Structures are given as C-alpha cells and as structure tokens.
Amino acid sequence: MRKIWTLSLIIVGFALQAVSYLYWAAPLGTPTNPSFSNPVVPFAAGYFVLGVMLVFISAVVYELMPEEK
C-alpha cells in the first residue's frame, strides 16, 4: 500500500510536469502571434511546480506511511 502510494505519487508528479510543460503552458517556439504569450490552461506553471513537489513528497510518504499489518 505504501509502495503503491509512493510509486503513484512519482508517476503522477512526472506526468503532471510533462503535461503542464508541453501542453498547458505557453507554447514553445519562435513567437509569431499572441498565443505564444498566454498559457493554454491558467496556472500551468503552478501545476508544473506541484508536479515536482509531488515527486519529492513521495519520499515523505515512503518513510512516514505506516505499513499495513
């Protein structure tokens, strides 16, 4: 259970980073119109930060979560 939680947090964290960086945030590339300056989803950068934090919170979960008897 503990290991499942840890692994899930890591996977969700990385997935959130990838999605928010590549799809939700402002597009990469040479800017030719205003859409390059706006995120597709607001707070995309915030979600990226959250994704990174989730990956590291998994370590806390791994240590703190009690093992099921």
Partner 1 sequence: MAARTSNGLSYGVGRWSGGSVAFLGLSLMFVLLGIYAYSQQAIHGEVVTGLRNIGLMGGATWGLYVAFLVYFMGVSFAGITISAIVRLFDLKVLKPITRIAELMTIIALILGALTIMSDVGKPLRAILYLPLYGRPMSPFFGTFTIVISGYFFASLVYFYLNGRKDAAICAEQATGALKGFYQFWAAGYKDTPLERRRHEQSTFWLAVALLPLLVVATSTLGAVFGLQGGRPGWHSALQAPGFVILGGVSGIGHLIILAALFRVFTSETDKISMEVFKWLGNILMVLILLYTYFMVVEWLTVSYASSSHEGKISMALLSGRYAGVFWLSVVALLVPAVLLFTQFAQGKYTIGVAVLSGVLVNVAAIGKRYLIVVPSQTHGTLLPYGTGQYTPSWVEVSVILGLLGLGAFLYILFVKVFPIMEVADAGKGEM
Partner 2 sequence: MARLGMVINLDKCTGCRACMVACKVENNTPQGSFWMHVFRFEEDEYPRTKTWFMPRPCMHCDNAPCVKVCPVGARFKQENGLVATDSDRCIGCRYCEVACPYGVNNFNWQDPTKGQYLDWRGPEAQKATQGASPPYANPDLQAGYGKGKRKIAGGGHSKGVIEKCTFCPQLVEKGKLPACADECPTFAIQFGDLDDLMSDVSRTLQNNENFRLLEEAGTKPRVYYVGGTPPNSKVREIEKVDAKIKGRA
Residues of this chain that bind partner 2 (CB under 8 A): 26, 30-34, 36-39
11 binds, among partner 1, partner 2, none (CB under 5 to 8 A by kind): none
19 binds, among partner 2, partner 1, none (CB under 5 to 8 A by kind): none
Go through 59-68 and write b for each residue having 16 or more CB atoms within 10 A of its CB, e for each that does not: eebeeeeeee
The DSSP line for 39-66 is -SSTTHHHHHHHHHHHHHHHHHHHHHSP
Degrees to nearest 5, angle at CA 43 with 42 and 46: 165
Distance in Å, CB of 55 to partner 1, minimum: 7
| Interface with partner 1 (CB under 8 A) | 21, 25-26, 28-29, 31, 36-39, 42-46, 48-50, 52-53, 55-57, 59-60, 62-64, 67
